[in-house]
Structure 1
Protein backbone atom coordinates (compact mmCIF):
# COMPACT_ATOMS: atom_id res chain seq x y z
CA UNK A 1 0.00 0.00 0.00
CA UNK A 2 1.33 3.41 -0.96
CA UNK A 3 0.21 6.43 1.03
CA UNK A 4 0.47 10.13 0.11
CA UNK A 5 -0.77 13.40 1.54
CA UNK A 6 -2.65 15.35 -1.13
CA UNK A 7 -4.37 18.73 -1.12
CA UNK A 8 -7.91 19.46 -2.28
CA UNK A 9 -8.33 22.46 -4.59
CA UNK A 10 -11.44 24.61 -4.28
CA UNK A 11 -12.40 26.26 -7.58
CA UNK A 12 -14.80 29.18 -7.39
CA UNK A 13 -17.57 29.26 -9.99
CA UNK A 14 -19.12 32.36 -11.53
CA UNK A 15 -22.04 32.14 -9.10
CA UNK A 16 -19.68 32.18 -6.10
CA UNK A 17 -19.99 28.52 -5.09
CA UNK A 18 -16.94 26.29 -4.68
CA UNK A 19 -16.20 22.95 -6.32
CA UNK A 20 -13.68 20.71 -4.53
CA UNK A 21 -11.23 18.78 -6.73
CA UNK A 22 -8.35 16.42 -6.06
CA UNK A 23 -5.62 15.24 -8.42
CA UNK A 24 -4.52 11.63 -8.19
CA UNK A 25 -0.94 10.55 -8.89
CA UNK A 26 -0.57 9.47 -12.53
CA UNK A 27 1.19 6.27 -11.47
CA UNK A 28 -1.87 5.21 -9.46
CA UNK A 29 -4.25 5.96 -12.33
CA UNK A 30 -2.04 4.04 -14.76
CA UNK A 31 -1.75 1.09 -12.37
CA UNK A 32 -5.57 0.94 -12.18
CA UNK A 33 -5.66 0.59 -15.98
CA UNK A 34 -7.35 3.94 -16.52
CA UNK A 35 -6.69 6.15 -19.53
CA UNK A 36 -8.53 8.58 -21.82
CA UNK A 37 -10.65 5.79 -23.35
CA UNK A 38 -11.20 3.79 -20.13
CA UNK A 39 -11.88 6.36 -17.45
CA UNK A 40 -15.08 5.26 -15.72
CA UNK A 41 -14.74 4.63 -11.99
CA UNK A 42 -17.05 3.81 -9.12
CA UNK A 43 -16.76 6.15 -6.11
CA UNK A 44 -18.07 5.05 -2.73
CA UNK A 45 -18.45 7.24 0.36
CA UNK A 46 -18.77 5.09 3.47
CA UNK A 47 -17.83 5.64 7.11
CA UNK A 48 -16.13 8.98 6.30
CA UNK A 49 -13.91 7.32 3.68
CA UNK A 50 -13.84 7.71 -0.10
CA UNK A 51 -13.10 4.58 -2.14
CA UNK A 52 -12.37 4.77 -5.88
CA UNK A 53 -12.64 1.55 -7.94
CA UNK A 54 -12.32 0.92 -11.66
CA UNK A 55 -15.68 0.09 -13.26
CA UNK A 56 -15.82 -3.49 -14.48
Structure 2
Protein backbone atom coordinates (compact mmCIF):
# COMPACT_ATOMS: atom_id res chain seq x y z
CA UNK A 1 0.00 0.00 0.00
CA UNK A 2 1.44 3.36 -1.06
CA UNK A 3 0.76 6.53 0.93
CA UNK A 4 2.02 10.06 0.43
CA UNK A 5 2.14 12.16 3.59
CA UNK A 6 3.94 15.49 4.02
CA UNK A 7 5.79 14.99 0.72
CA UNK A 8 7.10 11.54 1.73
CA UNK A 9 6.07 8.38 -0.07
CA UNK A 10 5.50 5.53 2.38
CA UNK A 11 4.94 1.89 1.49
CA UNK A 12 4.35 -1.17 3.62
CA UNK A 13 6.87 -3.80 2.49
CA UNK A 14 7.46 -7.44 3.43
CA UNK A 15 10.86 -8.71 4.47
CA UNK A 16 12.29 -11.73 2.65
CA UNK A 17 13.47 -14.35 5.16
CA UNK A 18 16.15 -16.90 4.40
CA UNK A 19 17.40 -19.67 6.63
CA UNK A 20 21.06 -20.72 6.48
CA UNK A 21 22.39 -24.24 6.80
CA UNK A 22 23.40 -23.60 10.42
CA UNK A 23 19.84 -22.61 11.32
CA UNK A 24 20.48 -18.86 11.39
CA UNK A 25 17.88 -16.59 9.83
CA UNK A 26 18.62 -13.49 7.76
CA UNK A 27 16.30 -10.91 6.26
CA UNK A 28 16.37 -8.91 3.03
CA UNK A 29 14.24 -6.04 1.83
CA UNK A 30 13.24 -5.31 -1.74
CA UNK A 31 12.64 -1.61 -2.45
CA UNK A 32 10.64 -0.13 -5.35
CA UNK A 33 12.63 0.58 -8.52
CA UNK A 34 11.89 4.36 -8.46
CA UNK A 35 13.37 4.55 -4.94
CA UNK A 36 16.50 2.68 -6.06
CA UNK A 37 16.82 4.96 -9.09
CA UNK A 38 16.51 8.04 -6.86
CA UNK A 39 19.43 6.70 -4.80
CA UNK A 40 21.46 6.20 -7.99
CA UNK A 41 21.37 2.40 -7.67
CA UNK A 42 21.65 0.27 -10.80
CA UNK A 43 23.19 -3.08 -11.75
CA UNK A 44 26.70 -1.58 -11.81
CA UNK A 45 26.36 0.57 -8.66
CA UNK A 46 24.55 -1.21 -5.84
CA UNK A 47 26.12 0.42 -2.79
CA UNK A 48 23.94 2.27 -0.26
CA UNK A 49 24.45 3.36 3.34
CA UNK A 50 22.06 2.00 5.98
CA UNK A 51 21.82 3.33 9.53
CA UNK A 52 19.75 2.03 12.44
CA UNK A 53 18.87 4.04 15.55
CA UNK A 54 17.02 1.30 17.44
CA UNK A 55 13.65 2.36 16.03
CA UNK A 56 14.07 2.97 12.30
CA UNK A 57 16.35 2.10 9.41
CA UNK A 58 17.44 4.86 7.04
CA UNK A 59 18.85 3.96 3.62
CA UNK A 60 20.73 6.73 1.83
CA UNK A 61 23.23 7.46 -0.96
CA UNK A 62 26.88 7.04 -0.06
CA UNK A 63 28.83 10.28 0.18
CA UNK A 64 31.44 10.63 -2.54
Please indicate the TM-score interval, normalised by the length of the shorter structure. Answer: 0.7 to 0.9
Partner of 1:7: 14
* Residue of structure 2 aligned with 1:44, choices 31, 48, 51: 51
TM-score, normalised to structure 2's length?
0.76
TM-score, normalised to structure 1's length?
0.85
What is the number of residues matched between the two proteins?
A: 56
Stretches of structure 1 lacking an aligned partner (at least 5 in a row): none
Flag the structure with more relative contact order, 1 or 2, with Cα contacts below 8 A and sequence separation at least 6.
1
1:31 paired to 2:4: no
> Which of structure 1's runs of 4+ aligned residues deviate more than 2 A?
none
Structure 1 residue 27: Cα displacement: 1.3
Cα RMSD (Å) of the superposition? Answer: 1.2
Stretches of structure 2 lacking an aligned partner (at least 5 in a row): 1-7
